[in-house]
Structure 1
Amino acid sequence: MSTPHPTAGPAARCPVTGAPAKVAALYGPGLDGNTMPALYEELRGTHGPVAPVSLAPGIDAWLVLGHRELLRLTREEQDFSHDPRRWSLLREGRVPADSPILPMVGWRPALLFADGQQHRRMRGAVSDALAGINGHELRRSVRTTAEALIAGFADDGEADLVASYARMLPLRVIAGLLGVDDRTGRELVDAVGGLASGASGAAEASRRMGAILLSLIEEKRRVRGEDIVSALLHHPARLTDEEVLHNLVVMFVAGNQTTVNWIATTLRILLCDPALRSSLSGGHLSVDDALDLVLWRFPPTQNFPARYATRDMRFGEQDIRAGDMLILGLAAANADPDVLPADGAPVAGNRSHLAFGAGPHTCPAQDPARLITRTAVDTIRHRLPDLELAVPENELKWVNSPWSKGLGTLPVRFTSAQLPQLPIPSQAVEAPAAPWPYRNGTRPQAHPH
């Protein structure tokens, strides 16, 4: 725990003594995806559904832990804006230019940071671009890429499924959807990893990512392709190059790492929970049921920035001031005892979790993300049927980040791989994913507004 910064952030006070409440740090070497849930429950017990937290030295905010409160936060734009230019600490010059969280919460001309009509305009373009993906072709591309990756380590009898599979698969698929080659895709993913870590190199990672995407936009402006970038550039909403750039940043940051975490965590659950694995193998549960279990218990994004209070109000048992930052505690809200079944285990098929957010800003890419994850999990289950964890579960390493809940490694071993009869050419392992296939060979139509 840390004491509140003397000039920054929420001023939560003990209801009995009136003394300043302790502010929990959401950063530091002792906090990762495995230890955060205990902190959330401690905060819930001490403060209720909304708790004061610190995101970086001198940067305090409110973490929304309650399921009901998070729904209100995401749905009521008149009280909670997405525009960080309303953030009092930023307006008053109290956020250092090199703050590690600024690349995540600083304003961009993108749908994530807009309200009302401006948000609807940009979201319409993004939704139309995503709607142009042919699901059957995407599934085929994911399966082919997954089998190529498995073939790359099949003879070893062991692998790290984070580095060699979960991290590589979305990279190549998203690279194909963006219309970039594999090398550029790797560079983008490296930059995204640095940005989401919340570490001191986040600003430099943000600059690298912007430079890569700007070069891509310039190329697609010259030569139109069959990809998401071209679709955004030529959409009737007439996004500027700057708007395309920053909406791509939002899509890539949110889409890539979330899918990596979703794949890796689902595989971990299947490896570590024999009963669940047996139910899946016996047909009592589907892969989608397993995916939903992960979204409930271990959402790939544990906290998501941010909303800004538009007025003074009483919210979640706290006195919120206009300009305060509020963080979406997705993992904590999913664990809210007021919404979970009595036994604490979500029922199969229950998708009222908040892993993708809620309200007007619900993630527009959740359907392709689910398709990629489902295909990735299903493919490796069938190609490596005797897969088992190579270390005790308590020795698994987690990524240290206030935002992302992801495994750092997932070492496994196996004795045999059941690959397709036709050998996969060695160059397929390094090949980028197939170009983005439009539905029925047609370009997406304008989104209705």
Structure 2
Amino acid sequence: MTVPEHLASGGCPYAGRPGAAPLYGTAVSDDPHGLYARMRAEHGPVAPIELEPGVEGWLVIGYQEMLDLTRNEQLFSKDSRHWRVPREGRLRADSPLVPMTMWRPTLQSMDGAEHHRLSTAVGEALGRIDHRWLRETTEAAATALIESWGPDGTADLVAQFTRRLPLLVFTMLLDLPEEDGPRLLGMITGMVDSGEAAQRSAAEFGSMLAALVGQRRARPGEDLTSWLLAHPAGLSDEEVVHNLMVLLVAGNESTINWIGNTVRLLLTDRRFRTSLTGGRATVADALDEVLWRDPPVQNFPGRWATSDTVLGGQYISAGDMLVLGLAGANDDPSVHGTEGLSGNRAHLAWGAGRHVCPAKDPARLIVETAVETLLHCLPDLQLAVPAHELTWRPSPWSRALTSLPVLYSAFAPPRPAAPAAPVTPERTSWTPQPLPSSAPTDSTPSEPTSPPRTSGSALADLRRRLSSLVGWWSGR
């Protein structure tokens, strides 16, 4: 290995990284695809970045280099305690990087056998979720939200739909007492929103989960917390609390963004709408298109080099932080074939290697059901503003719209419950319908099909609880 001259002479590792791009501010939100293309042209598949002023890192935007990074945890560890920046006193105590990178006893922070133990427990607990129940819960939550909107035929799908629906579903997954549902919604909302309330909400959320874990340890039920506690891996109460926080907070954010970005694609992308009109594409295809083009998490921290090495032609020093450029790696021209991306799930939106997201299958079911329900209930849904006026949050991590204003005139009532029947995988398609003359777009979705629903008092009680939570959220 050839050591760069400035390092061989004892120089500062960061001083030798000319042209480091800031991974903060509006550049990463306004035109991320252009930014990654410029990085690739100037630096190759691994580019020097600033995570914040004075804090250096590397952004991995090569597809093969991403696979190399994520498959070698001996050289590129998930344990952030390897990071030299905080060891050298260069990370502010109030830095927004602290909550993103601090070590916790979770599957995200572990390597080797400990990661395998935690990821097995989390994956198998998630695997116990009944998919029929999850679909029915998501549909009931989506319908309750839509029914809560005012009579003027306008809505902001980010504020009134995408940011609320995952929280409603997670409340049901934890099987919280009905009176605790509003508390959970308020605390997670406070954590996601910036400001002075964020840290207080995080502390309250941790305390609530700790109390919940204690209750489930004494009286197990049929819920996610109880399944984690009962797993043969023997998770401690602290491990269950922290892994639940990871699932709920990270899962909430990515699900929010995936729903919003998919609806945006369906309402704005003429190429994709034309394909759907011809019956060659489905809502599931739209979900995959988003995971390639605008994944809900565009960059993810991180990996830390355990020794000096070379990756993508760049000299990486021990203790360097490497950020997974999920969107940038998906943009790598070397992986785009002549047939395009339709039906191709080789994207890196969920990461790769042993640390691939364990909740990707439940997340897909939630998002697909949410989009299908929205299109069923509002068959003439359309954008309320020209597509170019939509704006993105200035986040280096999330690919998220600030708002998604829509118009609608027709409301289709929820589908009645059908007798119980086996659920089989189904791909749902829709075709555009004519819009009112005032519509700023030229086509919108119509009613999809879906598997039959389960009837009975349990489903009625579920819908009642969700309507009650939505009513609390709407101030009714």
Q: Normalising TM by the smaller chain, what interval?
A: 0.7 to 0.9
The AA in structure 2 aligned to 1:327 is V
Query: 1:163 and 2:163 equivalent?
Result: no
Quote the Cα distance in structure 2 between the aligned partners of 1:224 and 1:266.
37
SS in structure 1 at match of 2:341: coil
TM-score, length-scaled by structure 2: 0.82
Q: Is the 8 A contact 1:81 1:115 kept in 2?
A: yes
- 2:309 corresponds to 1:313: yes
Inter-partner Cα distance in structure 1 for 2:350 and 2:11: 29
Name the CA distance, whole Å, in 2 between partners of 1:32 and 1:183.
Answer: 34
Do 2:80 and 2:102's aligned partners in 1 also have CA atoms closer than 8 Å?
A: yes
Alignment partner of 1:183 is 2:182: yes
Tell me which residue corresponds to 2:230: 234
C-alpha change, 1:267 and 1:111, in structure 2 (3 Å) is: same
CA contact (8 A) 2:267 2:382 kept: yes
Contact map agreement 1:154 1:417 (CA 8 A) in 2: no
Aligned 8 A contact 1:101 1:202 in 2:
no
* Residues 5-404 of structure 1 mapped to structure 2, 5 A cutoff: 11=14, 13=16, 20-28=17-25, 30-31=26-27, 33-153=29-149, 155-180=151-176, 181-194=180-193, 206-342=202-338, 346-404=340-398
2:410 to 409, 413, 416: 416
TM-score, reference length from structure 1 = 0.86
User: What are the superposed Cα offsets for residues 304-336 of structure 1, whole Å, 9 maximum, x if unpaired?
Assistant: 111011111111111001111100000100001
Is the partner of 2:59 in helix, strand or coil? strand
Displacement, 1:298?
0.3
| Alignment size in residue pairs | 415
Letter matched to residue 349 of structure 1:
G
Distance 1:94 1:11, change over 3 A: closer
Aligned letter for 2:467? Answer: V
1:303–1:330 CA contact under 8 A, matched in 2: yes
- In structure 1, the gaps of 5 or more residues are 1-6, 14-19, 433-449
Measure how far apart 1:223 and its partner are.
3.0
| Higher relative contact order (CA closer than 8 Å, sequence separation 6+) | 1
State the alpha-carbon separation in 2 of the partners of residues 207 and 383 from structure 1: 38
Offset at residue 92 of structure 1 (A): 2.8
Structure-1 separation of matches of 2:120 and 2:12: 34
User: Given residue 116 of structure 2, which amino acid in structure 1 is its aligned partner?
Assistant: R
Query: Which range moves more in the overlay, 327-336 or 246-255?
Result: 246-255
Give the 3 Å change call, closer, same or farther, for CA 228–55 of structure 1 in structure 2: same
Kept in 1, the 8 Å contact 2:168–2:466? The answer is no
**114 and 421 in structure 1: CA distance in 2 versus 1, 3 angstrom threshold:** closer
Partner Cα distance (2:299, 2:94) in 1: 21
Contact 1:293 / 1:346 at 8 angstroms: preserved in 2? no
Point out the structure with max Rg over C-alpha. 2
Quote the offset at 1:421 in angstroms: 7.0
Contact 1:302-1:404 within 8 A present in 2 as well: yes
Structure 1 pair 9/132, CA: closer, same or farther in 2 (3 Å)? Answer: farther
Residue 141 of structure 1 deviates from its aligned partner by: 1.2
Aligned-pair identity (%)? 48
**CA shift digits 1:39-75 (9 cap, x unpaired):** 2222111111111111123221111011110111111
Q: Give me the whole-angstrom Cα distance separating, in 2, the residues matched to 1:222 and 1:279.
A: 54
